[in-house]
Every structure is written in C-alpha cells, then in structure tokens.
Amino acid sequence: MNDFALIGPILAAMFAAATPLLFAALGELVVEKSGVLNLGVEGMMLVGAVCGFAVAVQTGSATTGFLVAALAGAATASLFAVLTLFLLANQVATGLALTLFGVGLSALIGQGFVGIPLEGLPKLYVPGLTDLPVVGQALFGQDVMVYLAVAAVPLVHLFLYRTRAGLVLRAVGENHTAAHALGYKVLRIRFLAVLFGGAMAGLGGAFLSMDYTPMWAENMTSGRGWIALALVVFATWKPVRAMLGAWLFGGVTILQLHVQGLGIDVPSQLLSMLPYLATVLVLVLISRDVARIRLNAPACLGKLFHPDA
Amino acid sequence: MPSHAETYPPDAPPPRLELRGITKRFPGCLANDHVDLVLRPGEIHALLGENGAGKSTLVKMIYGVLHPDSGTLLWQGAETVVPDPAGARRLGIGMVFQHFSLFDTLTVTENIALGLDNAGPMDQLAGRIREVSERYGLALDPGRHVFHLSVGERQRVEIVRCLLQDPKLLIMDEPTSVLTPQEASKLFETLRVLAAEGCTILYISHKLEEIRALCSRATVLRAGKVVGAADPRQETARSLAEMMMGAELSTPERPPQGAAGAARLTVRHLSTTSDNPFATNLKDVNFEVRAGEILGIAGVAGNGQAELMAALSGEALLADADAVVIEGTSAGHLGPRARRGLGLAFVPEERLGRGAVPELSLSENALLSGYAREPLVRGGMVHFARARAYAETIIRGFNVVAHGHRAEARSLSGGNLQKFIIGREILQKPKLLVVGQPTWGVDAGAAAAIHKALIDLARSGAAVLVISQDLDELFVLSDRISVLFHGRLSDSRPTHETSVERIGLLMGGLFGTPPDEDGEITRAV
C-alpha cells in the first residue's frame, strides 16, 4: 500500500474522531454563551457513554441507547445546574466535582458491561459516491451520528444568531443584570442551556462507547471532555470554528495513530501526547489575540447571578 | 411648553398613574412608607430625594421589578397590578435606567429587540429604529455594536427602545449624569416634544438646575416618605436641596488660591496602547499639578478617564518612566506601592472593588492602603489595635455613618463609604491626591463634606487632581480645569476664566477655537 492510498481512510477516520468532540463542544458552547462555565463535560460524557452503552446492549436498539445517553447527560448536568444556579455554588469547583463524580458513577454503572462487544452503527453507502477516491469514504461513508454532529453546527449557529431565543440567551450571558432588568428569566434560560450542554456531552460520550470503539471501558473518554472545553475557547465561541477545531484535533489524533502504525521511531507515549500538546499550543496562540476573546467571550461567563441582589 | 402641561382643569381625564399608600419594606429598612403620587398625562414630573430616600425602590415598583407590600396602583384610573417589566411595557410604561441595561457585544438593533415584546424581523425593526430616531432627533445607526457607541449614543438606544413601544409613561433615572451639557439640552428638547404628544415623564435627577428648567411639578421623598411637593420653576436649587435634606445646606467656600507651589505631579507625553478593544488609548497627555492647587479634569465617561487613573495610580505600568513624575522622581515604571511611598494617595472611581474590598471590615480596609504611611504594621505583623484606632479616627473625623470599625465596607451607603475612603487617604497626609469621581452617586450633604475635605487638603499644601464628569463639582473645586476627550487632554484654563458652556463644548470634542458667528467649528479629533 502506498502512502497516497492512506489519505482516504485517514480522512474518514478524522471525521469520526472529531464527532464526540464536536457534540460536546457545541453543547458547552451554548452553555458558555448563556454565561455558565461547566467544567464537568468529561464527567457528563462518561455518564452518557456508559448509560447509552448499557441500554443499547440490553435493548439492542441504538436509537434508544443514544436517547438515554442524552437524557443521562442532561440529568448529570441538572445536578450541576441546581448547585450553581439555585444554590449559588462556585461554578469552577462544582464543574470539577462533576467530572470526578461522572468518572466514578460511570465506572460503577459499567461494572457488568466491561468486555461486552457491541456492533457499531451501519455506515452509509451511496453507490458511486462512496467509492470515489480519497474523499468518498470520508464524505459519503460515515454513520448517521457523524452527519448529525455536522448538521448540529448550522442549527446551533442559526439558533444563536437568527432566533429571538438565541438572542436572549446571548444577552443573558453578556449582561445578566440587564437581562433581568428587562424581565428575562436568567436562571431558567441558563438551566435549559446547561441541560442542552449535558445532553450533547452525553451524545458525544455515547458515540465513543456505541460506535467509535463499540465497547465500554472505564474512563474511555480519556480527556476528550477537556479538549472539547478548550475547543470552545479555540473557536472563540463560534459554532463553525468549533467544527474546524474538532476536525483539527480529530486529525491530530488519527495522524499520531498512523505514525505509530508506520513504525516511525518516536516513542508512542510522545505521540499519544500530541492532541493534548496541540490543545495547549492552540490555546496559547488564541490567547494572544485579546481583542478577539473580549469581543466574543460572554462577559458574565462563570459569574453567579442572584435575582434579588 | 405645551399649554396642557401647565393647566389641569378639574374635569380632566384621570391621572396617567396614581399611587396610593405604597409601602415597601426590606429587611432592616422601610424603603417606601405610604407613598402617594399622581402623574398627569403629558407632564414632566420630577422625583427628588437623597440617596436612600426610596426613589429607586418606588420606580422599580412602577416598572414591575419589585412589588409593593401594600398600597394600590391606579393606571389611567383603574386599579392595576404590574406583575413584571414585560407587564409594565404592555401597559405603556417605559424606563431608561441609570446604569444602562445594554449589551456591549450586541448590535443596536439586537439590543432594542431585547427590550421589545413584539420585535418582529430584524431588518424591519432596523427600519423602525431609523424612523423613530429621525423623528425625535436621536441619531442612531442600528447596525453598530454598542461597545463602539459613546455614552450619549447608548442612552439614545435606551430611549429609542422605549419610544418604539409608544409609551404613555416614560421613567428616566438620572438620565443626564453621563451627558455633556449640550447633549443634555438636546435630550430635554426630545423630552419636551414627547410630553407635548401626551406622554408623561417621571424624571429622577440629582441635578436641581435641570429639574428647574424641565419639570413642571416635583414630589420630594425623604427616608421613604413624601415630604413635599413643589413647582420647581418657583424654587431655587438651594431650596429644593434643603427640602430633600430636611436641613440647611452648607456649601463649601473656596478661599482664593495662594501662590501655587512646586510641581508635585508632572505628566509628560503620556500615551497608552491597550489590547482591550473597549479601552480608550491616551494620546500624548501633558499636565502638571502644583502644591496647593486643585486641577480638575472634565470629560464624559469612556474618554480615557479609567486609563488615566490606572496610569497615575500605577495599576498600569508605563514603558516610559518619565511620563509620570511624582515629586521629582520618575515613577512611570513603579507600581502602586512604590508610588504611595513617594507621597501619592488615590481614590479610584469604583468604590467597591477598587477603593475598598466589599467583604472586609472598615478597619481592614483602612489598613489596606493606610499601612504604607501609618505605623499599622510592624515586622510583617499587623498591629490590629492601631488599625482599629485609625479606622475610628476616620469614622469620627469624616462623620461616616457605620456600625463601628467592624462594619463590612459593602454595608455602607455610597456616600458614607466614599467619605471613609477619602478620609483614609487624606489622613495619611499625602503630598499628592488623585481622585476619580469623588461624589458620584453621593447625596448633597455628603458631597459638600467631601468637597470641603478636598479643598482643605489643597489649602494645607497638597496637590489635588480631581477627575470627574460632574461639571458643577469641578467648578466648585478646581483652580484650573482641563478636558479629556478621546484620550487627548486639552490645555488647562483657570476656572474663573472659563464657563460651563465652554467646557461643555470641549467635552463634546471641540478643541481649538470655539465656534465663530457662522457656526464654523473645527474638530480636533
């Protein structure tokens, strides 16, 4: 096999690897646009992953699995929402706690499911198109969740920038005092945003356990929740940029696997670090442009709001 | 003035709004105590009172943000409950807030849409915004982002937002506190047109001269109760102030200035560049403040005041050490502590958060800046007894109303906290004091006390720099006045050789020569 023939599969794998990141990042983007910083993405992904997997194994229905994963992610997020929005707990501390909680809870639920194989989702096949060289597999040979994640990008964009509800959500994240003075229900809007973020993280996690590597293993998200958080900043809170970022990180992940496979003499640990090193590098580069961050970052991000104060 | 704003026949239609016995209690204070208020169609009605008199609470209840404990509200003669701000807007009540309820990173159209319940498609809304802003002479570009707008333009956004709902009652909370005199008089024209069209305006302001020029009736609140009504046109600013205070007003006398001493603060070619897109960069600012004088720097907020304060206090370090010289020592590269060591004291505009730590007690707050020049710390250990004594000295010396030195800074009213902060700095006997907005949001009595303290400090030989948006204040305090506009500073003028009108033009950006007879104007920036 020559190197050129590898490009098709690499490209196809890149889109698949980007999908869990894209789900989680889009969800977190909406959460942060409403002014809430939920660092519990990793935990919500794990809970979604294990719940989706368990239900899919027992019912045999992938659809039910993904639905339950979204619900489980949202339920985990609601814990965070109640603590931070209504009980005014610190968002950073609560988010970290939520991740630790998710790691433990998912391990507990998943005890009886380790080592059980599951069949992944069927791949699309369009005669002619899927057989195209290089791009055929990547563009026309994926499964439904990959397409759903990409479809969610314009939907989230349209919601945020073209609908009134999206405008209100951005307003709440920009200046919650003013939004409250105008009569908007800041806490209710944030609560719904956090639930959405949880559901998306749950879907991202379930994509991993039910499709990408169809099996359950403890801590199988291995830091993807954190990369998704970094992606939101990388994207300066813009959905389309989040998608580009997810592809970039997906690409780095796949590339390091192939480099290992090609037997290039680099320690494999070093290569496994690549996606995370890329995250740090990109965040440093993005943070140099203070103006862009200031113009797009929700001004009330991470700030607690109490309607009577 | 339209005639119907001045005469009220007995068979006139019912009042636009009538409040009967409105009472609102907060934990530990009775904010409104059986307040009665009648607002007639098409009148401009002033609501007067010192800080904490209950004005904000009252209008928040009219606008549905708060709800009264007892009492009734009649809207056009019918008993009504205003459930929330959206309900108030449905009735036809609009409100322009003192602190604008705007969203910096959204466009003008988006901001306005957020305040409308039936905004409709954005492009149509933009057209309606243009229409209304032209009709009332409120120039606005619907597509711009709010952070690009001047403070005056931001207020126009708020007003246009209200006007789009055809309000029958418009509440204005301290609308001119951030405007130049020229912008304010333009606003008054708009308000008079509105009133002539039958809209009732409830106008809250500290600026009594404005109320005399604009309003036909006034209701005075003190400690939550209505203590009087007046026709402001028949009163003087002094008599209105005394009605609000319930006591005689003592205005500070500014004794003639002696010979100005040596330069205590010299600023040369001070320019800044900031990464923050919301910041205003300073451009070649030059001035000096001499011992024994007060220099006032006027200007509308957002023209570089925050950046100038940061550059002077040492919060922002400068590349050019010689740009700021304190007592002959180049200090541009020094941090706040080192500058305090040179004899600088400063009172930032932001009381809670910069001037004082809200959650700390007064004695701890006294310690925070006081230890630099008072013996409050020995060998790295805090001498708490001395810190307490120092706080008590400030509280007594500056008549701070507080529950002793243990009171948290945030528990004090704005005026009392400001007296405490200014007292803390003055008692350190600084050679140079820099003050931002010394009496912002402070009532007349406390303002007079603060002004007297600043004048006394200057007369005792210190140099004082006051940065303020309040022209009346600068004319009371300053020996010389300069104006900051778009990061540039005008040359200073002796206060007695200039006028509010002239400074007002400079605040609007008309540096250089004043307009000649043809109205020819040269813009400096």
Reported as a single tens digit per residue, the pLDDT across B403-420 is 888 888 888 877 789 899
d(CA B64, CA B83): 6
Beta-carbon separation of A175 and B86 below 8 A = no
Chain-chain contact of B105 with A178 (C-beta, under 8 angstroms): no
What DSSP letter does each residue of B500-514 carry, written as one string? HHHHHHHHTT--SSP
What residues contact residue B243 under an 8 Å CB cut-off, 6+ apart? B48, B220, B227, B228, B230, B235
Quick: pLDDT tens for B273-285. Answer: 887 777 789 999 9
* Residue whose pair of structure tokens reads 């001047």 in the numeric block: B150
DSSP one-letter code for B8: -
Structure confidence at residue B517 as a pLDDT band (50, 70, 90): very low
Assess whether B416 and B343 both reside in one domain. yes
List the one residue out of B103, B490, B145, B64 whose CA is nearest residue B284: B490
* A309 contacts chain B (CB < 8 A): no
Q: Which of A274, A303, A271, A288 is nearest to A175 (CA)?
A: A303
Q: Are A171 and B114 a contacting pair at CB < 8 A?
A: yes
Q: What is the pTM of this model?
A: 0.73
The C-alpha atoms of residue B96 and residue B62 are separated, in whole angstroms, by 13
Taking residues A110-114, report their average pLDDT: 91
Q: How far is A286 from chain B (nearest CA, A)?
A: 14
One domain for residues B372 and B465: yes
Tokens, residue A301: 């991000």
With a cut of 70, say whether residue A112 has pLDDT above it: yes
Mean pLDDT in residue range B459-479: 91
Q: Pick B85's closest partner by Cβ from A167, A174, A183.
A: A183
Provide mean pLDDT across the span A231-249: 92
> How high is the pLDDT of residue B250?
67
Residue B301, pLDDT above cutoff 90: no
Within a domain: B36: yes
The verdict on residue B135 lying in a domain is no
Q: How far apart are the first and last CA of chain A?
A: 67
Tell me: do B30 and B172 sit in the same domain: yes
Predicted confidence (pLDDT) at residue B525 exceeds the cutoff of 50: no
pLDDT tens readout for residues B14-24: 899 999 999 99
Question: Looking at residue B334, which CATH number applies to its domain?
Answer: 3.40.50.300
**Residues B353 and B482 both lie in one domain:** yes
Give the domain A3-296 fold: ABC transporter involved in vitamin B12 uptake, BtuC (1.10.3470)
Nearest to B114 among A168, A291, A299 (CB): A168
Other CB atoms within 10 A of residue A97 CB:
18
Tell the residue number behind the tokens 């204070």, with chain if given.
B29
Contact call for A174 and B104, based on CB within 8 A: yes
B328 and B196, same domain (yes or no) = no
Same domain flag for B485 and B430: yes
What pLDDT is attached to residue B242?
A: 82
How many angstroms separate the CA of residue B167 from the nearest CA in chain A?
A: 15
Domain boundaries, chain A: 3-296
Q: Which residues of B touch A (CB under 8 A)?
A: 64-65, 84-86, 89, 97, 100-106, 110, 113-115, 119, 147, 275-278
Q: What is the pLDDT of residue B479?
A: 93
Length reported for chain A: 309
Number of domains, chain B = 2
Is the domain of B224 the same as that of B330?
Answer: no
Average predicted confidence (pLDDT) for chain A: 90
What would the pLDDT profile of B340-355 be if each residue is shown by its tens digit?
A: 989 999 999 888 888 8
Q: Between A167, A181, A294, which is nearest B101 by CB?
A: A181
For residue B321, CA distances in Å to A118, B262, B330, B338, B450 come to 69, 20, 6, 13, 32
B10 — pLDDT class (breaks 50, 70, 90)? low
**Pair (B456, B384) in one structural domain:** yes
State the alpha helices, DSSP H only, in B274-327. 305-313
Q: Is A183 on the interface with B (CB under 8 A)?
A: yes
pLDDT higher than 80, residue A237: yes
Yes or no: say if B446 and B419 are a contact pair by the CB < 8 Å rule.
yes
Q: Does A178 touch chain B (CB under 8 A)?
A: yes
CA distance to partner chain B, nearest, from residue A21 (Å)? 27
Question: Is B290 part of any domain?
Answer: yes
DSSP B196-209: HTT-EEEEE-S-HH
B106 vs A171, A183, A294: nearest CB: A171
What residue numbers bound the domain in which B477 lies? 263-507
For residue A181, list chain B residues with Cβ-Cβ distance below 8 A: 65, 85, 97, 101
Q: In the prediction, which pLDDT does B454 show?
A: 94
